[in-house]
Amino acid sequence: MSAPSEQPVSGGNADLLGRWDAVMMENYGRPPLALVRGEGCVVWDADGRAYLDLLGGIAVSVLGHAHPAVVAAVSEQVGRLAHTSNLYAHGPGLALAERLVGLLGEPAVGARVFFCNSGAEANEAALKLARRHARALDPSGARHEIVAFTGAFHGRTMGALSVTGQPGKQEPFTPLVPGVRHVPWGDEAQLRAAVGPATAAVIVEPTLGEAGVIGPPAGFLAAIRAACDDAGALLILDEVQSGIGRTGEWFAFQNADLAVRPDVLTLAKGLGAGLPIGAAIGFGDAATALRPGDHGSTFGGNPVSCAAALAVLDTLEGDDLLASVRAVGARLAGRIAGSEHPGIAELSGRGLWRGIRLHRPVAPQVVAAAREAGFLVNATGPDRMRLAPPLILTAEQADAFCDALPGLLDEAGAAGAA
């Protein structure tokens, strides 16, 4: 890492993490570091060490850290009006909703937006919207099922967890919300068998993010759309992780090979560049399914988060960052693949959103070795790593990681026998 170290915070990592252990719940375990500052794609810990951030707060910090446009927008707005509740309209929320609908293009004619605070909340809103829409079609309530996919991740609130296809995350909290069917990812025959007259909606990530950035088989998203159309069900497209430029397009479904028309689109993460905001956007009949009093969020779409999101969209567009995401993402993937390291079994993803499957279950060890070398990456499973850096990542920063990666894999024993 070329970024300079800084003076450590009093007490450093050990002190801060010890205090963390004393007062924080244990749901995250003990963090390996305490981060105290960031600038661009670099962060510093409490001991003054610098790291190249290749995780971006789990695909959140799309403009990196302390971006001047976000700092200015948030500072100005918080000094003007920080909160209104959902009882009143405000300019930043209106402008952001109009901007998002405009970016969605032709499929979004007549679309409407609901703002909340997170991806899980956006998916909760989408699920309620789907049930409400289904009840209008069939007042008996017989059309209520949600079809989801194994390996998917949609959040940890009870409704979002119920459609998440990861039993390890679900089991401690059963019984979950009833009426959910999980279909194996990519299995078109089982999809067709599951979607029928009782289906209110199918919820799907265009690429499984938390599972390791795993794309769909060719034609699978189109098959989901067709199954929904045949059954009269809504298609909920969860772009919480893939949206807002992550794949090199504004939204992943705008990539030609992932093209599919959603009825409901959910967003969060990168939309606020670190400020809490999520959105559920309804298209067509889904745009007007929720009626006054059906749903709400006290903090959702507050003026400060909306101002941050507008700064994100302005900067992505004004700095032509989508083109950079495509170019730097292709360079990153090309260099990783070109290393031909024997520990790498598969490279997946697109843009600045990449998954690396290893031949051996040593991803946590690679993550630890990378951290020691000054790179922050993520393990999504024993043999899977994820890269989701800020969208301002430079070619030189991508190269620095790629230069180091073979040695990190060797240090972790990734090339040994499986």
Closest CA to 127 of 99, 155, 146: 146
Nearest Cα to 383, choosing from 365, 357, 353?
A: 357
Return the half-sphere exposure (C-beta side, CA atoms, 13 A cut-off) of residue 240: 29
Q: Return all residues near 251 (Cβ < 8 A) that are at least 6 apart.
A: 103, 104, 239, 242, 243, 244, 265
Closest CA to 11 of 48, 37, 42, 43: 48
Residue 204, SS3?
A: strand
Tell me if the bond preceding 175 is cis, omega within 30° of 0.
yes
Active site residues: 153, 238, 269
Whole-angstrom Cα distance, residue 369 to residue 411?
Answer: 7
C-alpha distances in Å from residue 24, one per residue of 9, 18, 27, 44: 20, 10, 9, 22
**H helix runs in 60-166, sequence order:** 68-78, 91-104, 119-137, 158-163
Number of residues assigned to the chain: 418
Q: How many CB atoms lie within 10 A of CB 63?
A: 26
